[in-house]
Amino acid sequence: LTLMNSPFARKMAEGLAKRANPPGVGSPATKPADLEAAITRAYEIALSRKPAPHELAAMREFVTGQMTALGGPTSVNVDRALV
């Protein structure tokens, strides 16, 4: 719980989200293939491997749910959902 509320951990998560979804690469908010690419980049950056099919499916479901909870699929909400 302490780590989840840590400003440092939040800053690192935001940095990972920006690296996984850089400007001009595509909008995961509008294209499922771009969302999968952003998730794959995040795994490659953080874990040095591609996600397994079940991990990709779980993350796709999680990020889509987060975007919905944040008000819908906009580019700002994608970045927030990836954190």
What ranges in the chain are assigned the alpha helix state H?
Answer: 7-20, 32-47, 53-69, 75-82
Separation CA 41–CA 54 (nearest Å): 16
Residues 8-61 pLDDT 10s: 988 888 888 888 877 665 565 557 778 888 899 999 999 999 999 999 999 999
What pTM, to 2 d.p., does this model score?
Answer: 0.74
Going by C-alpha positions, the residue among 14, 70, 64 that lies closest to residue 34 is 64
